[in-house]
Amino acid sequence: MTTLRRTTSLKHTQQRMAVLFILPALAVYALFVLYPLAMSLWGSFFVWKGLRMVEFAGLSNFSRLFVFPSGARLYGALWHNTAWFFGIMVFQNGIGLLFAWLLFLRDKGAAFFQSVFFFPAVLSPVIVGALWRLLLAPGGVVEWALNGLGLHQGSLTVLGNSHTALAMLIAVDAWNWMGLPVLIYTAGLRQISGQIFEAAKLDGAGNARMLFSIALPLLMPALGTLTTLSFINTFNQFDIVYVMQGVQGNPSYSTDTLVTYFYRLAFGAEGAVGITDIGLALALGTLLFLILSIGTLLMLRFFDRRTVQL
């Protein structure tokens, strides 16, 4: 009887204490994350006057998003984000796999190379962007080096050229985050039992064969994590574009992304006069939210199905 009473009173105390303990975190999180996010999604169905909601608008913000003059910006940005994602998948997560495999095959130096490769990832994208903007500028050190090596003549204008600027930004982003795939793949490779590789070698498999036929299928969880992270990061891309090319995604919107377009609509830098269009901004936000949630769920499911259990 006494034990029972003690347990019930403990249960009561615990319920009360739990509420008190959880409340501060929940209050801050709900107020500054959940509430504004929910209000933004809700607000995308309304007509806005400045920062005030005026009347219900149904889907009219969304239909405005896809037609002139917004349509060109939207499709441009959507294409740039998609290209950015595939660029990162190949040049960051693909080459990163090669680096991780090379480190895995060597008993020495792995910690050193991992630390060096990961270092740019702890820097602010603002610093990385500013640094590369200086290095790649006309008269900068890259131009000087390419001229000296005879690979290029005259002034280097890769950031001012609408055909090359986006590729440069993707390369800078890959430089920034190369350490991430290297660390995640090496952690994944170390979880694979050494016996599997031993057996494969006895069967006469070479290094390349072991990487693609044995390691890669077992690295599906690592590849899933990286693909999802890269997807979320590239579709949130803002800092590097802002610092290197300006918020308009210069030259002539060739490096514009969904978030830079969102920022211009929301905080008044779109078009020559720089007026805000909150309704359009929120509709774009909702669209991006849907792209990110559906994309992430599909990717997680895709990689979950392909995970090999041994």
Partner 1 sequence: MSALAISGAPAISRQLARLPGWTVLAVWTAAVLLPLYILVVSCFKTTAEIYDNRLGLPQSWALDNFVNAWTRADLGHNFINSLIVTGGAVILTIVVSAMAAYPLSRYRLGWNAVMLGLFLSGIMLPIRLASVELFTLMRNLGLLDSLTGLILVYAAIRIPFAVFIFANFMRVLPSELDEAARMDGAGEVRILFQIILPTVKPAVSIVAIFTAIAVWNDFFFPLIFIFDDRYKTVPLAISVFVGQFRTDWGLVFASLAISMAPILIMYCLLARQIREGVGAGGGMK
Binding part of the chain for partner 1, among 74-82, 211-219, 249-257, 282-290 by CB under 8 A, reads: 282-290
Give the CA count within 13 Å in the CB-facing half-sphere of 268: 5
Output 68 or 235, the one with its CB closest to partner 1.
Answer: 235
Site string for partner 1, 82-111 (x = CB under 8 A): ----------------xx--xxxxxx-x-x
At residue 52, φ and ψ (nearest 5 deg) are -115, 135
Residue 54 corresponds to which tokens in the numbers above? 């005026």
Q: Which of 255, 259, 261, 299 binds partner 1 (CB under 8 A)?
A: 259
Site string for partner 1, 213-252 (x = CB under 8 A): ------------xx--x--xx-xx-xx--xx---------
Output 83 or 232, the one with its CB closest to partner 1.
Answer: 232
Euclidean distance between CA atoms 25 and 20, whole angstroms: 10
Euclidean distance between CA atoms 95 and 263, whole angstroms: 32
Q: Which of 116, 275, 298, 308 binds partner 1 (CB under 8 A)?
A: 116
- The region that residue 219 occupies, defined by phi over 0 for left and psi between -120 and 50 for alpha, beta otherwise, is alpha
Q: How far is the CB of 154 from partner 1 (least distance, A)?
A: 16
Q: Are 243 and 251 in contact (CB under 8 A)?
A: no
Q: Is 198 in the site for partner 1 (CB under 8 A)?
A: yes
Q: Residue 11 class from Cβ within 10 Å (0-12 exposed, 13-18 middle, 19+ buried)?
A: exposed
Output 166 or 282, the one with its CB closest to partner 1.
Answer: 282
Pairing relationship of beta strands 52-56 and 46-49 according to DSSP bridges = antiparallel
Q: Are 139 and 159 in contact (CB under 8 A)?
A: no
Number of Cβ within a 10 Å radius of residue 87: 19
Q: How far is the CB of 81 from partner 1 (least distance, A)?
A: 13
At residue 191, φ and ψ (nearest 5 deg) are -85, -15
Q: How far is the CB of 281 from partner 1 (least distance, A)?
A: 6
Q: Which of 78, 211, 223, 281 binds partner 1 (CB under 8 A)?
A: 281
Q: Which of 1, 25, 149, 273 binds partner 1 (CB under 8 A)?
A: 25
Q: Which of 156, 168, 282, 299 binds partner 1 (CB under 8 A)?
A: 282
Output 254 or 296, the one with its CB closest to partner 1.
Answer: 296
Euclidean distance between CA atoms 286 and 282, whole angstroms: 6
Q: Is 29 in the site for partner 1 (CB under 8 A)?
A: yes
Q: Is 290 in the site for partner 1 (CB under 8 A)?
A: no
Q: Is 131 in the site for partner 1 (CB under 8 A)?
A: yes
Binding part of the chain for partner 1, among 70-78, 160-168, 191-199, 212-220 by CB under 8 A, reads: 191-199
Angle subtended at Cα 135 by Cα 129 and Cα 229, rounded to the nearest 5 degrees:
30
Output 163 or 208, the one with its CB closest to partner 1.
Answer: 208
Binding part of the chain for partner 1, among 26-34, 60-68, 153-161, 212-220 by CB under 8 A, reads: 26-34
Q: Which positions from 48 through 87 interact with partner 1, judged by CB under 8 A?
A: 51
- How many residues sit close enough to partner 1 to count as binding (CB under 8 A)? 97
Question: What is the SS3 string spanning 104-138?
Answer: HHCCCCHHHHHHHHHHHHHCCHHHHHHHHHHHHCC
